């Protein structure tokens, strides 16, 4: 990300992007592509079976599925942390965002230095990474907490810092591994708003893992349902609601109806 | 307090709310400070009282031994620190002991941390070294006195050797434990960006190890005093008589009060080391490290 581009981003923040679910983005090459990916761990656990799907730029895809169905494995394969047993994954890993279940902040670094970390490992010069970190901190609403250490932060603030840390690389693909599972309901809803906000500003390709159907529907342009182990994609729902999505959307009949259908599929996936 | 207020003013409302938590906890902890200040002196008084009792009648009543074996604390302090002659000898002794234990501790820290870093590189390296570390702990110094004496001769060197031998183990094990304490998620971050082994070591493992490293320092600091005194008792040659040598001199002449006086000084040195490293530890890692405390 260059200096000029990022100022552009800041300037256009208030005008909502058109719904990213449009033909233009669909026709281009996918930002992340899984093709017949299977995963068998050395201990014989069959985690994924013949999984195929694409995520395009401007798409936010959420995967829901029963516990232990290999959802997290999906992200570990996408990021290259684990190699797949067979099949292929196409993704540009040079600026991959990855938010883990835990905030995984380094306890000895304050918020600012934590947010800088990914840029630092990437070898970005100090002034540039500090500027990006400041910007990311502001984006996730942590301004004023730069010099706090992780032990002084609440769970929600830690997740914000974790989000900001991935943002400094201005990722074109953003992976979220059940990031808000451990925070309370209200904080989770706030953080959901934050993610949507970031998605609209940055237009990355998002792949989000969660247990929560309502979180999945609220955030995504598409929801994929995975079966129990070995994980397979068993259903693919388009989410038609326009962004930005107000909190009240969660109580709309259409929202409930879609959630119900996904829930039904999920129950089928369990058996 | 003004800093916190400023931070709250600058942050969005939910963040400001979050900030209240930790600060409130700090205030709670203050309640216990009176007991923290009074605790050690109360135990000291009880200890001295028990000591005096053992001298006056305890040794006779419980073990049928004469009381002079354990001189009264008053006699010990009087003979060791008030009367001039012994005081000079003892204080000079503890000075040399401090030198040996400090230098010994320094050598131990450097060697121990280097070995721990080497051992942390691969599981097989760790497994190869570990049994010998444990064996080092079990070696009776007495058995190796002749070889140490012939290699290092007299003076400070053999005492330093013994000091390092005794203080070595906790530094290595604590550093090693610390280096391995960074969690898998944090390692994943470094893997994601293709970090080198060095980057991982300096930016992740070493900082993560610091709290455990300081625990190791504190344990080894106490042991280095023991090591120095033990070393002095085996290697009395040379012109720098440490507290162990001075004490041994008094013991051979059956002058017990000064032996206990020397003990008090050696203990004081150990406590001082412990406190210094405790402070240093709080200085270096206190602002970020959260020791898991039992709820009090």
3-class SS letters over B193-207: CCCCHHHHHHHHHHH
* Chain A residue numbers touching B204 (CB-CB < 8 A): 106
Residue B236 and residue B245 in contact, taking contact as beta carbons nearer than 8 Å: yes
Tell whether A204 and A263 lie within a shared domain: yes
Residue environment code for B137-155, b if the CB has 16+ CB neighbours within 10 A, otherwise e? eeeebeeeeeebeeebeee
What does the block give as tokens for A49?
Answer: 């079976």
Tell whether A59 and A150 lie within a shared domain: no
Tell whether A186 and A263 lie within a shared domain: yes
What's the pLDDT score for residue B29? 55
What's the pLDDT score for residue B85? 81
φ/ψ region of B155 (left if φ > 0, alpha if ψ in -120 to 50, else beta) reads: left
What does the block give as tokens for A151?
Answer: 């032990």
Partner-chain contact B15 A107, CB within 8 Å: no
A-chain residue closest to B198, CA distance: A121
Closest CA to B195 of B185, B183, B204: B204
Site from A104, A114, A116, A146 to mutate, B interface, most B CB atoms within 10 angstroms = A104
Tell whether A105 and A125 lie within a shared domain: yes
DSSP B89: H
What does the block give as tokens for B4?
Answer: 């916190």
**From B183, B192, B203, residue closest to A98, measured CB to CB:** B192
Q: Tokens 């963040």 correspond to what residue?
A: B15
The domain boundary, picked from A109, A139, A170, lies at: A170
**From B12, B195, B199, residue closest to A141, measured CB to CB:** B12
Residue environment code for B1-38, b if the CB has 16+ CB neighbours within 10 A, otherwise e? eeeeeebbeebeeebbebbeebeeeeeeeeeeeeeeee
Q: Which domain holds residue A271?
A: 1-15+32-92+172-271
Asked if pLDDT for residue B5 goes beyond 80, the answer is no
Tell whether A265 and A183 lie within a shared domain: yes
Tell whether A163 and A185 lie within a shared domain: no
What's the pLDDT score for residue A12? 35
* Range of weakest confidence among B21-35, B39-53, B128-142: B21-35
Tell whether A69 and A200 lie within a shared domain: yes
As for the ipTM of the complex, it is: 0.84
Whether A22 is in a domain gets the answer no
* Range of weakest confidence among A16-30, B48-62, B234-248: A16-30
Q: Tokens 């326009």 correspond to what residue?
A: A242
> How many folded domains does chain A comprise?
2
What backbone phi and psi angles, to 5 degrees, belong to B289? Answer: -85, 130
Euclidean distance between CA atoms B211 and B284, whole angstroms: 9
What sections of chain A are H helices per DSSP? 3-11, 23-27, 71-79, 111-121, 126-139, 155-167, 185-202, 213-219, 253-270
Euclidean distance between CA atoms A255 and B2, whole angstroms: 46
The domain boundary, picked from A170, A197, A229, lies at: A170
Whether A26 is in a domain gets the answer no
What's the pLDDT score for residue B75? 87
Residue A100 and residue A112 in contact, taking contact as beta carbons nearer than 8 Å: no
A-chain residue closest to B204, CA distance: A106
Euclidean distance between CA atoms B158 and B164, whole angstroms: 10
- The CATH code of the domain that includes A43 is 3.40.50.300
Tell whether A154 and A185 lie within a shared domain: no
Whether A233 is in a domain gets the answer yes
Tell whether A182 and A231 lie within a shared domain: yes
- Contact pairs from chain A to chain B, CB under 8 Å: 86
Give CA angle at A27 (A25, A32), nearest 5°: 70
Side-by-side strand order, sheet with A46-55: A46-55, A32-40, A86-91
Euclidean distance between CA atoms B97 and B141, whole angstroms: 18
Pairing verdict, β A173-177 and A96-99: parallel
B-chain residue closest to A187, CA distance: B14
Tell whether A82 and A201 lie within a shared domain: yes
Mean per-residue pLDDT, A156-173:
92
Tell whether A86 and A108 lie within a shared domain: no
Q: Is A247 on the interface with B (CB under 8 A)?
A: no
What's the pLDDT score for residue A269? 65
Q: What superfamily in CATH does domain B82-285 come from?
A: MetI-like (1.10.3720.10)
Domain coordinates of chain B in residue numbers? 82-285
The domain boundary, picked from A144, A170, A196, lies at: A170
Tell whether A87 and A180 lie within a shared domain: yes
Asked if pLDDT for residue B119 goes beyond 50, the answer is yes
In this prediction, residue B142 has a pLDDT band, given cuts at 50, 70 and 90, of: confident
């Amino acid at each position: 990300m260059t200096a000029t581009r990022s100022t552009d981003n800041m300037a256009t923040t208030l005008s909502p992007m058109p719904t990213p679910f449009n033909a233009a983005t669909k026709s281009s090459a996918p930002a992340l592509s899984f093709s017949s990916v299977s995963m068998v761990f050395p201990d014989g656990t069959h985690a994924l079976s013949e999984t195929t799907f694409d995520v395009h730029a401007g798409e936010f895809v959420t995967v829901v599925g029963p516990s232990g169905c290999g959802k997290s494995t999906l992200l570990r394969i996408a990021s290259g942390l684990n190699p797949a047993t067979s099949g292929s994954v196409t993704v540009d890993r040079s600026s991959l965002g990855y938010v883990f279940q835990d905030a995984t902040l380094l306890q000895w670094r304050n918020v600012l230095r934590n947010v800088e970390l990914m840029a630092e490992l990437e070898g970005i010069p100090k002034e540039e990474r500090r500027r990006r970190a400041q910007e990311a901190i502001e984006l996730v609403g942590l301004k004023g907490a730069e010099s706090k250490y992780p032990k002084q932060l609440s769970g929600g603030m830690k997740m914000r810092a974790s989000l900001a840390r991935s943002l400094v690389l201005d990722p074109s693909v953003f992976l979220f591994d059940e990031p808000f599972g451990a925070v309370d309901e209200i904080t989770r809803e706030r953080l959901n708003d934050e993610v949507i906000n970031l998605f609209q500003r940055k237009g990355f390709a998002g792949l989000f893992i969660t247990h929560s159907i309502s979180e999945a529907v609220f955030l995504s342009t598409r929801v994929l349902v995975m079966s129990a182990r070995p994980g397979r994609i068993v259903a693919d729902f388009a989410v038609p609601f326009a962004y930005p999505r107000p909190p009240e959307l969660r109580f709309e009949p259409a929202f409930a109806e879609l959630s119900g259908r996904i829930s039904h599929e999920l129950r089928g996936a369990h058996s | 307090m003004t800093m916190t207020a400023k931070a709250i003013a600058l942050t969005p409302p939910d963040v400001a709310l979050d900030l209240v938590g930790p600060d409130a906890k700090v205030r709670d902890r203050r309640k216990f400070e009176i007991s923290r200040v009074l605790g050690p002196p109360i135990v000291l008084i009880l200890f001295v009282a028990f000591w005096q009792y053992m001298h006056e009648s305890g040794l006779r009543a419980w073990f049928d031994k004469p009381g002079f074996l354990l001189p009264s604390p008053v006699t010990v302090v009087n003979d060791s620190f008030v009367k001039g002659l012994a005081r000079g000898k003892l204080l000079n002794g503890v000075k040399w002991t401090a030198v040996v234990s400090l230098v010994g501790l320094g050598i131990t820290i450097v060697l121990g941390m280097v070995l721990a870093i080497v051992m942390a590189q691969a599981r097989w390296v760790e497994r190869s070294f570990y049994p010998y570390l444990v064996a080092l702990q079990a070696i009776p110094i007495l058995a190796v006195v002749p070889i140490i004496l012939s290699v290092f001769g007299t003076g400070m060197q053999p005492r330093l050797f013994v000091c390092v031998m005794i203080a070595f183990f906790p530094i290595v094990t604590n550093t090693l434990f610390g280096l391995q304490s960074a969690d898998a998620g944090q390692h994943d971050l470094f893997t994601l960006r293709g970090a080198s082994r060095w980057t991982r070591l300096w930016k992740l493992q070493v900082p993560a190890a610091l709290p455990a490293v300081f625990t190791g320092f504190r344990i080894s600091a106490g042991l280095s005093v023991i090591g120095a005194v033990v070393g002095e008792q085996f290697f009395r040659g040379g012109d720098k008589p440490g507290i162990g040598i001075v004490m041994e001199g008094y013991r051979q002449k059956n002058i017990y009060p000064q032996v206990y006086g020397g003990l008090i000084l050696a203990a004081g040195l150990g406590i001082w080391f412990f406190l210094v490293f405790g402070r240093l530890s709080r200085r270096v890692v206190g602002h970020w490290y959260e020791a898991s405390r039992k709820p009090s």
